[in-house]
A and B are shown apart, each in its own frame.
Chain A
């Protein structure tokens, strides 16, 4: 079943490239994926701590390399997120003017790459699947993008290529840090090695730094964030939804999967550096976001900023904070995808996203206005949305835990400073909402109509998922916690 979810989008993309009707095939494939992911979700065994639905094909016995897939709670919620957003993005894409087939194929390749990375238990394929999404992104932004698309496409591609390569070096070092007899690419085997403390403290520091830079570039950790806002502003809406909502979470997922459980000593050593960088994300990027004059750039920067909270949860290294990071990761994926979808639709109709030229649109587009409002409130972290649950767990976790320190320690200082981020994000989100959908409406927009019913479906899907998740976060938390409990109890 896991294999089906991974290869369904890839097979559909190949079919589309050889001539199958693009939109129908893509929709069918993403609906099937979603159904399969829901089935996995429903049949999840809560008691088990191990990976479920594991299948394995040996690739190279010499290197202990095998194509092994499977899900545990953490990867399952990521797969679910990916399928929800794929369905929404494909549905939202509508008719494409040029090279329709290639467009849908690229979307499905990104989706397949992300799902493959989340569901791989083998380090090699974990890395390789993520890279599979790199070239489709290059095409999506370069061919169908808007604005300064050429520069944005080059920037994101080369930046991410270098980031992934640094990550690869880190993974190689991780593989080599275990004594030769127990070397393996299997994450479970590495986990076992880590629990026997086979990875030396010195090696952990080096590996963690490489992973911090590698994953940091992929997640747009300050100061490696400069590719993100421009790319998201230029990308066509479905691509921005998939990339900001799903693919970027690969880096955070990698942190939760590798850096925290395998390298506790490395995490402890670099925690102050990480704290400074994530405050850069929250405070500095937050202020930059306030200064934006265009909706798409503002959303791009806000997605960079919110990564800071997730990193705070990761840095806390306590069960509460880490779980909060996982919850927020899912919630942020949904909310940013929703916002990018609506912004993309606005741009398609009005041709501009400059705040000064917009205003009062909710009178003409009440549905879009309402949905955007949901997205905005979710992004701010209002109770009722899952973002709230995630953020509050992160703040509590970071304030309480941290690496056993005395007195008023750096984690608490960071938490207090990070709390101001909530104020900052309230300012820019509400301001954007007011300038776009409230206030006086310029004359030129008076003929705008509301979203077509066809477009309301994916929007409703995303809003529904946000609300469901926001009211019942416990079902997700129950799913994720066992993953971390294994890791964190083993290592503390």
Chain B
């Protein structure tokens, strides 16, 4: 059997991205959606290949390339995570193509780049989860962020999107400045950029710990921006609402997951500093409270999902506080499934009616399949048993109870209660008959007027896969737990 090493996966993805850009530039006569199918197929091949990569045990005094790049199990697992996310996002983009096209009235221009850019983001995410050196973290983070600059403001004729793009650009640049400054402080204090060597330097009593701590706080600010933790969440609702929906889904899953992996790695380095954990506890508390309370009054589903993404960052931070990589990773997997499921349904429904929750009224009647998919997504986000979301919360709170994080648990109870309200609000809109609506009042006599919503075969397949995976993981988590063992 051919041996594949981890860096070859990223190279393959980058080559795929460039090939698609070339085809888009020089072959003008084809349907651009072919490019998307090619991208999905290519990513799927890389995904399959990633299972044949032997994990590299982390070396203590690695030199050259391997002092930047780790190919441990955690990173390979999250490379697969990034690939799966990107595949689903490209599938969503195909559904979203009509909206993009209407933003470029004359031709199909731009659609090709719309499908090609996520592939570069994917490569960036894959590098990011392997990065064990601050320089490499910075470079791959920028690869991700710069491709997101373009994607977020892709439908630029739409003023809301333009606003989102501008906000994302400015704040993202600010966070980049923070991370560079932080890295500089850490380098100044320890003379190292490799995470492991920094940890070793911190154990040395002659190191200036205060300076290193300051640098760590700056890095934390930048990462807090990526994972949408309070108080660095201000950009989230507007950008999430304004960006093209598949990009929103990508931001909220891919960008966040990579942020958490980097956060875990960085915090492991600084775990010897006692202030670190207290700081994260504080951020987790604020994130849980803000995300859940602010989600309560939302009426726009996309905005609701933005706040819910902040809320879930709060749960994930509980896992980070407890340094439980397995719980965080499992939660991220569950979060990937249920968030992509919700966004996929949102994209299809929004093109028919709109993004408000009230636009989902009576969806249970109009399109039972889509409504069922959304139901599973929402129940899983709320954390009902027999869905992946419940087990995610279970593992997170298991770790919290084990470490007696009483404050976090108490706030968590309130957060879960709030979550039930705002997620079930969507369920209620879909299934409860609304007396003011024009359909369904008289038991379906006027229901015939509502056309069922068309769903393409590929989307139907993707939705079914997500539904089955959500329930399967909720009943039989062992498959993922095995993959996460001994992280």
Listed stretches B1-9, B70-78, B143-151, B384-392; interface member = B384-392
Q: Do residues A59 and B420 form an inter-chain contact, with CB atoms below 8 A? A: no
Interface set, chain A 101-146, CB cutoff 8 A to B? 102, 127-129, 131-132, 134-135, 138-139, 142-143
Residues of A within 8 A of B444 (CB): 98
CA distance A403 to B260 in the complex (A): 51
Q: Do residues A131 and B384 form an inter-chain contact, with CB atoms below 8 A? A: yes
Listed stretches B226-234, B305-313, B427-435; interface member = B427-435
Residues of B within 8 A of A98 (CB): 433, 443-444
CA distance A98 to B439 in the complex (A): 13
User: 9 A-B contacts, Cβ less than 8 Å apart?
Assistant: A62-B478, A135-B384, A138-B427, A139-B432, A143-B433, A158-B417, A161-B420, A165-B417, A173-B401
> Is residue A166 within 8 Å, beta carbon to beta carbon, of the partner chain?
yes
User: For residue B425, which residue of chain A has the nearest CB?
Assistant: A154
Chain B interface residues toward A at CB < 8 A: 379, 382, 384-386, 390, 394, 397-398, 401-402, 409, 413, 416-417, 420-421, 424, 427-428, 431-433, 443-444, 475-478, 481, 485
Interface set, chain A 43-87, CB cutoff 8 A to B? 59-63
Known: A154-B421, A172-B397. 18 other contacts (CB 8 A): A59-B477, A60-B477, A102-B431, A128-B385, A128-B386, A131-B384, A131-B385, A132-B385, A134-B384, A135-B427, A138-B427, A142-B428, A142-B432, A143-B433, A157-B420, A165-B416, A166-B413, A176-B398
Residues of B within 8 A of A129 (CB): 385
CA distance A97 to B445 in the complex (A): 12
Residues of B within 8 A of A128 (CB): 385-386, 390
Supposing A59-B478, A131-B384, A176-B402 touch, asked if A158 and B421 sit within 8 A by C-beta, the answer is: yes
> Is residue A192 within 8 Å, beta carbon to beta carbon, of the partner chain?
no
CB distance from B402 to the nearest CB of A (A): 6
CB distance from A84 to the nearest CB of B (A): 26
CB distance from A170 to the nearest CB of B (A): 9
CB distance from A129 to the nearest CB of B (A): 8
> Is residue A169 within 8 Å, beta carbon to beta carbon, of the partner chain?
yes
Q: Do residues A162 and B413 form an inter-chain contact, with CB atoms below 8 A? A: yes
CB distance from A301 to the nearest CB of B (A): 24
Residues of A within 8 A of B475 (CB): 59
CB distance from A10 to the nearest CB of B (A): 11
CA distance A142 to B384 in the complex (A): 19
User: For residue B416, which residue of chain A has the nearest CB?
Assistant: A165
Residues of B within 8 A of A158 (CB): 417, 420-421
Residues of A within 8 A of B385 (CB): 127-129, 131-132
Top 4 nearest A-B pairs (CB, nearest first) are A128-B385, A161-B420, A162-B417, A131-B385
Q: Do residues B390 and A161 form an inter-chain contact, with CB atoms below 8 A? A: no
User: For this complex, into which size category does the number of interface residues on chain A fall?
Assistant: 20 to 34
Q: Do residues A168 and B477 form an inter-chain contact, with CB atoms below 8 A? A: no
CB distance from A186 to the nearest CB of B (A): 17
Q: Do residues A97 and B390 form an inter-chain contact, with CB atoms below 8 A? A: no
Q: Do residues B421 and A169 form an inter-chain contact, with CB atoms below 8 A? A: no
CA distance A263 to B386 in the complex (A): 28
Q: Do residues A135 and B443 form an inter-chain contact, with CB atoms below 8 A? A: no
Residues of B within 8 A of A169 (CB): 397, 401, 409, 413
CA distance A62 to B481 in the complex (A): 9
Q: Which of A61, A98, A128 has the most CB of B within 10 A?
A: A128
CA distance A205 to B432 in the complex (A): 43
Q: Which of B424, B427, B433 has the most CB of A within 10 A?
A: B424
Supposing A59-B476, A138-B424 touch, asked if A176 and B401 sit within 8 A by C-beta, the answer is: yes
Q: Do residues A161 and B478 form an inter-chain contact, with CB atoms below 8 A? A: no
CB distance from A122 to the nearest CB of B (A): 12
Residues of A within 8 A of B428 (CB): 138, 142
Q: Do residues B432 and A143 form an inter-chain contact, with CB atoms below 8 A? A: yes
Residues of B within 8 A of A168 (CB): 394, 397
Residues of A within 8 A of B397 (CB): 168-169, 172
Q: Do residues A135 and B417 form an inter-chain contact, with CB atoms below 8 A? A: no
CA distance A154 to B425 in the complex (A): 9
Q: Which of A97, A129, A135, A138 has the most CB of B within 10 A?
A: A135
User: For residue B368, which residue of chain A has the nearest CB?
Assistant: A17
CA distance A166 to B413 in the complex (A): 7
Q: Which of B413, B420, B478 has the most CB of A within 10 A?
A: B420
Q: Do residues B478 and A172 form an inter-chain contact, with CB atoms below 8 A? A: no
CB distance from A223 to the nearest CB of B (A): 17
Residues of A within 8 A of B402 (CB): 176
CB distance from B357 to the nearest CB of A (A): 15
CA distance A184 to B476 in the complex (A): 17
Interface set, chain A 290-310, CB cutoff 8 A to B? none
User: For residue B402, which residue of chain A has the nearest CB?
Assistant: A176
Supposing A162-B413, A172-B398 touch, asked if A135 and B432 sit within 8 A by C-beta, the answer is: no
Q: Do residues A139 and B443 form an inter-chain contact, with CB atoms below 8 A? A: no
User: For residue B474, which residue of chain A has the nearest CB?
Assistant: A128
CB distance from B288 to the nearest CB of A (A): 14
CA distance A4 to B414 in the complex (A): 37
User: For residue A113, which residue of chain B has the nearest CB?
Assistant: B385
Supposing A139-B431, A158-B420 touch, asked if A132 and B386 sit within 8 A by C-beta, the answer is: yes
CB distance from A141 to the nearest CB of B (A): 10
Interface set, chain A 158-203, CB cutoff 8 A to B? 158, 161-162, 165-166, 168-169, 172-173, 176
CB distance from B480 to the nearest CB of A (A): 10
Q: Do residues A97 and B443 form an inter-chain contact, with CB atoms below 8 A? A: yes
CA distance A158 to B382 in the complex (A): 11
Q: Do residues B432 and A60 form an inter-chain contact, with CB atoms below 8 A? A: no
CA distance A61 to B481 in the complex (A): 10
Residues of B within 8 A of A166 (CB): 413
CA distance A172 to B485 in the complex (A): 21
CA distance A62 to B318 in the complex (A): 22
Residues of B within 8 A of A176 (CB): 398, 401-402
CA distance A129 to B384 in the complex (A): 10
CB distance from A152 to the nearest CB of B (A): 13
Supposing A162-B413, A172-B397 touch, asked if A143 and B420 sit within 8 A by C-beta, the answer is: no
User: For residue B440, which residue of chain A has the nearest CB?
Assistant: A98
User: For residue B441, which residue of chain A has the nearest CB?
Assistant: A98
CA distance A176 to B409 in the complex (A): 15
Residues of A within 8 A of B409 (CB): 169
Q: Do residues A172 and B417 form an inter-chain contact, with CB atoms below 8 A? A: no
CA distance A154 to B424 in the complex (A): 9
CB distance from B333 to the nearest CB of A (A): 15
Residues of A within 8 A of B417 (CB): 158, 161-162, 165
CA distance A166 to B412 in the complex (A): 10
Q: Do residues B401 and A172 form an inter-chain contact, with CB atoms below 8 A? A: yes
Residues of A within 8 A of B416 (CB): 161-162, 165
Residues of A within 8 A of B485 (CB): 62
Q: Contacting A60 at CB < 8 Å: which of B421, B431, B443, B478?
A: B478
Q: Contacting A135 at CB < 8 Å: which of B379, B390, B481?
A: B379
CA distance A131 to B384 in the complex (A): 7
CB distance from B136 to the nearest CB of A (A): 33
User: For residue A175, which residue of chain B has the nearest CB?
Assistant: B398
CA distance A223 to B81 in the complex (A): 46
CB distance from B423 to the nearest CB of A (A): 10
CA distance A176 to B322 in the complex (A): 15
Residues of B within 8 A of A97 (CB): 443
CA distance A97 to B441 in the complex (A): 11
Residues of B within 8 A of A157 (CB): 420, 424
CA distance A102 to B481 in the complex (A): 35
CA distance A161 to B485 in the complex (A): 31
CA distance A232 to B428 in the complex (A): 20
Residues of A within 8 A of B432 (CB): 139, 142-143
Residues of B within 8 A of A59 (CB): 475-478
CA distance A111 to B186 in the complex (A): 60
Residues of A within 8 A of B386 (CB): 128, 132
Residues of B within 8 A of A161 (CB): 382, 416-417, 420
